[in-house]
Structure 1
Amino acid sequence: MPRTPLAALSPADQERRRALRRMKAVALGALLFMAVVFAVSFPLQADVPWLAYVRAAAEGGMVGALADWFAVTALFRHPLGIPIPHTAIIPSRKDEIGRTLGEFVETNFLSTEVVRTKLESMSVSRRLGEWLARPEHAARVADEGSAMAAGVLRALSDSDVQDLIADVAREHLVEPDWGPSVGGWLSRLVDSGAHHGAVDMLADSLGVWLEGNRSSFDGLVSSRLPSWVPSMVLRIIDDTLYKEALSFVRDVRGDPDHAARRAVDQYLTRLADSLQNDPATIGRFEDAKSGVFDSPRVRELAAEAWDTTKSGLLRSLSDPDSGLRARMTQALIDAGTRLSTDTALQQRVDGWATDAAVFLVDRYRHDIASIITETVERWDPVETTEKIELMVGRDLQYIRLNGTVVGALAGLVIFTIAHALVG
């Protein structure tokens, strides 16, 4: 597996490096101090007896300092470059450490009990509601959501969307037979008398038109009669035709049981029955439907509708003062206010969120934890060691310093007890 170099040192890492160097210097200074004390006290202890105690303390301090230096150094590299077994632990066992860390996180942090307990104690919905209820936060969410929606719209291919619309329309509108469904709907419409309103409206509209367009009947019939018919007769014919048409429409409007109305009812009843049971009628209806949907003009209208819809949405999404953005913001504020005050809703939302999170963690926790393992495996061993040493090395230098002090005290105590017992 190719190694992935870590990121360059950040300002914080550079400060950690300076602090690490200072602590290394302090720990080394303590060791050198003990060595100087030992070098001075060792040859003089025969002449100055109490210097034996100083020599023992310095000797123990050097031993403690060297032992802890070896232990700390062995974590990150071979001491003095010598490949002593069980040294350079981090670079040599980096992958194993990554696997162990991944297993530790999976077992102790991604368990369903831990996730459920944590989420149940957080009141996620109430906190979210209180945050969303603030107008500036709702506006921010609306802004981000608008930017994301606009990005999705721009990324969509117009031709792909049009093809999708065409496929969906064909699957759900063109391919299914409409005849029996339309026939059943029309039959229920006639049985309920719901179409009478449409007949009334048609009769009213026709009556209004007739009353305002008397001149449209001039010559409607008379122009087709022989020229030898007297003009008076022609006018009488036109007037009679107009009056009869007007009278017919008035009768239809005023008589709910008019023969024309019954004829309409009978026609619609026959049409509904034919659409449900007559294969020929059903076939003609389906052919007409297919012809409409397959018409190039219909396709052009669908494309124009998508273009208009897309352009309108993009304008509304990009304009902070648009009605769409304002409604989105207000809807978020309203949702946040309700979430922050409605206890029952909070319980439902918290339950949904907790169940969803527990399901995802239970199903994918191994995959989530494997991110740690795989990421550590890709790291370069040397750079990984340096990075970890920057994070914890300064504290480990305190171990060296403490080892020096503890070693000195231990050496002094051991020498004192031995001198007291042996003399």
Structure 2
Amino acid sequence: MVTATPVSTAPADRDAERRRALRRMKLLATSLLAVAAVIFAVSFALQDRYPWLGFVRAAAEGAMVGALADWFAVTALFRYPLGLRIPHTAIIPTRKDEIGETLGEFVETEFLSDDVVATRLAAYDVSGAVSRWLMEPGNAQRVVAEASGAVVGLAGLLDDDRMREAVEAVVRTHVIAPEWAPPIGRLGERILASGGHHDAVDLLLDRLDDWLVIHPDALSNLVSGRLPSWMPSFVDRLVDERVHQELRRFVADVRNDPTHRARRALDGYLAELSDRLQHDPETIAGLEAAKARAFDDPRIRELAASAWSAARTAAVDALSDPDGVVRQRASAALADAAARVTADPQLRASLDERISGAARYLVSTYRHDIASVITETVRAWDPAETTDKIETQVGRDLQFIRINGTVVGALAGLAIYTVATLVAGAF
């Protein structure tokens, strides 16, 4: 049984095969030149004895001229022919940088223009194609799995100490360092102006009343404990019950009356506090001092360490479990979004327009940088390496120019000699 040898796709193997093919084609083209030279020599020597060999000599002569001319043209692209520094030869190694710049400009103007990108994207239903692909079984899960693996891998590469330092720096710079008082005061003003604090007060009063109902003995001895010791115990109980009832009645009155004096007093206090937090240096300094005491250096480091460790552990655990809630919900959400896009032509059109706009923006903003990658890469190449790379890639095809030149030269030489013979015979 014959076993087929697998074809290697490694770049080095492909380059080696291209070099072998290039050598074979060079040998073939050179052999044709040698054959033409031998035929020319033989026919030239015998044409007086055999006049018809004049046609053969002319064809061979034209073949040699064509072969030599095209050999010179092909060779001049990569090196100096015969080592002679003839002007406008060795074009690739001597003009490598200019070729790179020209190629970069060509890519920038012909491939990375706004019109080209817009036209190409308009020909595709990008959002529809992506959404249909995501709706196929397993594809949404695959995307989530790949993204989860990337996040988990990235988390594993991060240094815990450096990340703690980064979190601490972020907390210190963006949370601790800025003044808290003025923003809190402005927020308080907006809440008071919109009346949003009333719901919070109502909720607090409801919870207070619930607590009083659940803990009827919470106020025991609060007042009765200050009565004379000779008072009967039932009087103490009556006093405590009365205080409890009056407190619940007061809470209910405040809860049910939006204009209650206690509410107005609270509104006035909060308004004054909001103003002082913004404009009173003493109040601002007091809050900043309290903040500094609460977030001293050890506490900041502890907060940063615990925040990073907790976030990292939670993310890795959630994303590492294929059957976990996070990945399952992410897959379901992705598939649901894809279904919505597929079923809504207007949504697809809107998404395609946004994708096209984003692509045009990226191209118009970064096309020069993208094209400069080509220019800088070519500029960084060694001239000899550049010549070898290009000749390896296209040299085999260029040898056909030499072969075609040999054939065309032979036909041209034969045609010219034939016409000249006919014209001379006519006169």
Q: Which moved more, 1:233-242 or 1:76-85?
A: 233-242
Return closer, same or farther for 1:293/1:314 CA change in 2, 3 Å cut-off.
Answer: farther
Aligned pairs for 1:51-90 (under 5 A) are 51-90=53-92
Report the alpha carbon displacement of residue 100 of structure 1 after superposing the two structures with TM. 1.8
Return closer, same or farther for 1:234/1:126 CA change in 2, 3 Å cut-off.
Answer: same
Match of 2:351 in 1: 349
CA deviation vs aligned residue, 1:217-244 (integer Å, no higher than 9, x gap): 599638x855xx4xxx543343333433
Match of 1:93 in 2: 95
Task: Describe the SS at the equivalent of 1:49.
Answer: coil
CA deviation vs aligned residue, 1:125-180 (integer Å, no higher than 9, x gap): 22222223334332333233334444565456123213323433346772426457
Residue number among 106, 112, 121 corresponding to 1:119 in the alignment? 121
Report the alpha carbon displacement of residue 379 of structure 1 after superposing the two structures with TM. 1.0
Q: Which amino acid is 2:356 matched to?
A: T
Residue number among 146, 166, 175 corresponding to 1:169 in the alignment? 175
- 1:235 and 2:233 correspond: yes
Aligned pairs for 1:272-311 (under 5 A) are 272=270, 274-275=272-273, 287=286, 291=290, 294-296=293-295, 299=300, 304-311=306-313
Q: In structure 1, how many angstroms separate the alpha carbons of the residues matched to 2:276 and 2:372? A: 65
Q: In structure 2, how many angstroms separate the alpha carbons of the residues matched to 1:388 and 1:254? A: 90
- 1:271 and 2:269 correspond: yes
Return closer, same or farther for 1:395/1:124 CA change in 2, 3 Å cut-off.
Answer: same
Is the CA contact 2:104–2:375 (under 8 Å) kept in the aligned structure 1? Answer: yes
Aligned residues: 407
Is the CA contact 1:57–1:407 (under 8 Å) kept in the aligned structure 2? Answer: yes
Return closer, same or farther for 1:45/1:140 CA change in 2, 3 Å cut-off.
Answer: same
Q: In structure 1, how many angstroms separate the alpha carbons of the residues matched to 2:135 and 2:292? A: 47
Q: Which amino acid is 1:369 matched to?
A: A
CA deviation vs aligned residue, 1:356-382 (integer Å, no higher than 9, x gap): 222332233333222222221111111
Report the alpha carbon displacement of residue 115 of structure 1 after superposing the two structures with TM. 1.9
Is the CA contact 2:224–2:236 (under 8 Å) kept in the aligned structure 1? Answer: yes
Q: In structure 2, how many angstroms separate the alpha carbons of the residues matched to 1:105 and 1:190? A: 58
Return closer, same or farther for 1:116/1:180 CA change in 2, 3 Å cut-off.
Answer: closer
Residue number among 27, 43, 47 corresponding to 2:45 in the alignment? 43
Q: In structure 2, how many angstroms separate the alpha carbons of the residues matched to 1:92 and 1:68? A: 20
What is the TM-score of this pair, normalised by structure 1?
0.81
Q: Which amino acid is 2:174 matched to?
A: V
CA deviation vs aligned residue, 1:67-114 (integer Å, no higher than 9, x gap): 221221121112222222222121122222222222222222222222
What is the TM-score of this pair, normalised by structure 2?
0.80
Return closer, same or farther for 1:225/1:379 CA change in 2, 3 Å cut-off.
Answer: same
Return closer, same or farther for 1:176/1:151 CA change in 2, 3 Å cut-off.
Answer: farther
Residue number among 389, 392, 414 corresponding to 1:390 in the alignment? 392
CA deviation vs aligned residue, 1:275-306 (integer Å, no higher than 9, x gap): 35679x97569836852674159755676455
Q: In structure 2, how many angstroms separate the alpha carbons of the residues matched to 1:26 and 1:257? A: 103
Q: In structure 2, how many angstroms separate the alpha carbons of the residues matched to 1:49 and 1:285? A: 116
Task: Describe the SS at the equivalent of 1:363.
Answer: helix
Q: Which amino acid is 1:111 matched to?
A: S
Match of 1:221 in 2: 225
Task: Describe the SS at the equivalent of 2:85.
Answer: coil
Return closer, same or farther for 1:350/1:44 CA change in 2, 3 Å cut-off.
Answer: same
Q: In structure 2, how many angstroms separate the alpha carbons of the residues matched to 1:310 and 1:401? A: 66
Match of 2:377 in 1: 375
- Structure 1 stretches of 5 or more lacking a match? 1-7
Is the CA contact 2:167–2:304 (under 8 Å) kept in the aligned structure 1? Answer: no
Report the alpha carbon displacement of residue 200 of structure 1 after superposing the two structures with TM. 4.2
Return closer, same or farther for 1:167/1:392 CA change in 2, 3 Å cut-off.
Answer: closer
Report % sequence identity. Answer: 43
Is the CA contact 1:74–1:87 (under 8 Å) kept in the aligned structure 2? Answer: yes
Return closer, same or farther for 1:378/1:188 CA change in 2, 3 Å cut-off.
Answer: closer
- Structure 2 stretches of 5 or more lacking a match? 1-9
